[in-house]
Chains A and B, each alone.
Chain A
Amino acid sequence: DAKTTQPPSMDCAEGRAANLPCNHSTISGNEYVYWYRQIHSQGPQYIIHGLKNNETNEMASLIITEDRKSSTLILPHATLRDTAVYYCIVANFGNEKLTFGTGTRLTIIP
């Protein structure tokens, strides 16, 4: 699976959009981009995933660059409850293993 690179930490003001970047320059054609988050002492929570098109759901938006070498997770109106470690994971279609990196620790500031 392709490796991802994320900034170790970010701060965002409450109510503002949180934009979390992820680089995955070695991504291959059949690999999806998944985003999960882990709030302290809980299991990871699925957020969103995509292949090449931008995706949006009730939690977030996922913007994938045209060359698919990077992506951005957008939380449109961050709240204090969005404080968590966010993981960007690239996984093959049909490959069930998710390899977690160190993620980005997002802190929402009141």
Chain B
Amino acid sequence: GAVVSQHPSRVICKSGTSVKIECRSLDFQATTMFWYRQFPKQSLMLMATSNEGSKATYEQGVEKDKFLINHASLTLSTLTVTSAHPEDSSFYICSARERGFWEGETQYFGPGTRLLVL
């Protein structure tokens, strides 16, 4: 299957700082990427849909000014957690939909980024 990478794999930061997480599709172009968050012992929750060249679409309850998403190219989307606080500590996972794959399109997920805010 297609490969999606994330960087960094884990990050520890101080409260009040901003953290940027990168999501890359390595062997395919992705017009659409997705950002999920997963708290311990819970399932994945979709945060936002990232569209190349346009603004992201956020799910209800997700603060767009806090979680900035940029999808500047067909292979890269970034999520910036601004002014991070301990409650933002979580496992952040991105996924990418392969462009032009219409017959039951498939999302491929990155390995995740574990964020710990102290």
Contacts and interface: CB of A to CB of B under 8 A. Distances in A.
Interface of A: 32, 34, 36, 38, 41-46, 49-51, 87, 93-94, 96-103
Contact of A32 (B34, B104, B108, B110): B104
A96 B104 contact: no
B104 A44 contact: no
B114 to A, nearest CB: 8
Contact of B97 (A38, A45, A96): A96
B106 A46 contact: yes
Contact of A49 (B45, B106, B111, B112): B106
B34 A96 contact: yes
Contacts of A100: 36, 43-45
B100 interface: no
Contact of A93 (B32, B44, B104): B104
Nearest to B107: A98
B69 interface: no
State the main secondary structure of chain A at its contact with B.
Answer: loop
Contacts of A101: 43
A94 B104 CA distance: 8
A-B CB proximity, top 7 nearest: A43-B109, A100-B44, A100-B43, A44-B109, A43-B112, A43-B93, A43-B111
24 contacts: A38-B44, A41-B91, A41-B112, A42-B112, A43-B4, A43-B110, A44-B44, A44-B95, A45-B109, A46-B107, A46-B108, A46-B109, A49-B106, A50-B104, A96-B97, A96-B105, A96-B107, A97-B46, A98-B46, A98-B107, A100-B43, A100-B44, A100-B45, A103-B43
Given A34-B106, A38-B44, 14 more contacts: A43-B4, A43-B93, A43-B110, A43-B112, A44-B109, A50-B104, A96-B32, A96-B49, A96-B105, A96-B107, A98-B34, A101-B43, A102-B43, A103-B43
